Amino acid sequence: DVYSEARVLADDVGKDDISINIVYCGVCFADVAWTRNKLGNSKYPLVPGHEIVGIVTEVGSDVDRFIVGDYVGVGTYVNTCRECEYCDSELEVLCSKGPVLTFDGVDVDGTITKGGYSSYIVVHQRYCFKIPENYPPQLAAPLLCAGITVYTPMIRHNMNQPGKSLGVIGLGGLGHLAVKFGKAFGLKVTVFSTSISKREEALNLLGADNFVISSDEKEMKALDKSLDFIINTASGDIPFDLYLSLLKSTGVLALVGFPSEVKFYPGSLAIGAKTITGSATGGTKHNLLEAPQLRP
């Protein structure tokens, strides 16, 4: 049954591969987009899922990072060229030849990858992450995509300085983790949302310091030039000029959501030497499962 198969058969475990019995898999918007062919290039039959946690059941002869019985995670890609400058810098997601996606990707042997809604998967050890012994494996799954997606720009742009201020646009899966990481790093976190129903969750469950309804002009204007960083996790369109006005000079707005357009007046960026940057998941260099601030 193709719907219960992984990307390769278990007896194809190579010398650097590990075979993983999948026990948990998170849900990502990509799973919905690909299964519904939102991008127009889905290859059916399609098995989604790229927030994978499982137990190692077999290891190749050259595997030195894992042993049978380990809990491991697999994220959004399962192969890269391993030769370009980005792979050499452990930024494999930026691989010059393009990473092989965990599901619906074309691997080097021409096979179409199958994702985490399978019973098992075989992956090269380079693209797997050991789940710490004291970390509940079911809670680790969302870190393999949503988690690394917000964590990577936070580290790249020094959004881990205690006492600095962070704005988080949107409170979906990405937003939840951006708030939690921000608090773990000692930042003062403000959540921006279009829905008042998110206030209780943002302030009392996730520990945000402030909650703002983004359509409230008075609340927004009160934050003028007050934030060091903003992470936009929303995929709806936002007024970029307005949000750029909330940044201090040299502030950074990181885009991890996918609005239909990014449009702003050049002066909103140039005056104050502000930065807009984009990011999507991350490389093995940014292994958040090893980040001491984020351990439970």
- Number of domains within the chain: 2
231 and 120 in a single domain? The answer is no
121 and 153 in a single domain? The answer is no
35 and 124 in a single domain? The answer is yes
Residue 158 domain-assigned (yes or no) = yes
151 and 259 in a single domain? The answer is yes
Q: What percent of the chain is predicted at pLDDT more than 90? A: 82
Output the pLDDT for position 42.
94
Asked whether 251 and 93 are in contact (CB, 8 A), the reply is no
Asked whether 233 and 175 are in contact (CB, 8 A), the reply is yes
Q: How far apart are CA 101 and CA 190, in angstroms?
A: 33
Is residue 285 very low, low, confident or very high in pLDDT (cuts 50, 70, 90)? confident
- To the nearest whole number, what is the mean pLDDT of the chain? 91
Asked whether 19 and 13 are in contact (CB, 8 A), the reply is yes
- Domain end call among 119, 145, 171: 145
Rg (CA), the chain: 20
Residue 199 domain-assigned (yes or no) = yes
Task: List the CATH number of the domain containing 219.
Answer: 3.40.50.720
Residue 121 domain-assigned (yes or no) = yes
Residue 250 domain-assigned (yes or no) = yes
114 and 157 in a single domain? The answer is no
126 and 154 in a single domain? The answer is no
Task: List the CATH number of the domain containing 89.
Answer: 3.90.180.10
Output the pLDDT for position 140.
92
Residue 288 domain-assigned (yes or no) = no
93 and 152 in a single domain? The answer is no
| Token pair recorded at residue 25 | 């898999």
What range does the domain containing 56 cover? 17-145
- Domain end call among 145, 162, 193: 145
33 and 72 in a single domain? The answer is yes
153 and 262 in a single domain? The answer is yes
Residue 295 domain-assigned (yes or no) = no
Cα atoms found within 13 Å of the Cα of residue 47, Cβ hemisphere only = 21
More confident residue, 53 or 293: 53
| Token pair recorded at residue 55 | 């137990």
DSSP string across 91-132: -GGG-TT--EETTT-B-TTSPBP--SSSSEEEEEGGGEEEPP
DSSP 3-state assignment of 68?
coil
Residue 11 domain-assigned (yes or no) = no
114 and 61 in a single domain? The answer is yes
202 and 219 in a single domain? The answer is yes
Residue 286 domain-assigned (yes or no) = no
User: 187-238, pLDDT tens digit by residue?
Assistant: 999 999 999 999 999 999 999 999 999 999 999 999 999 999 999 999 889 9
Instruction: For residues 133-153, give the mean pLDDT.
Output: 92
123 and 206 in a single domain? The answer is no
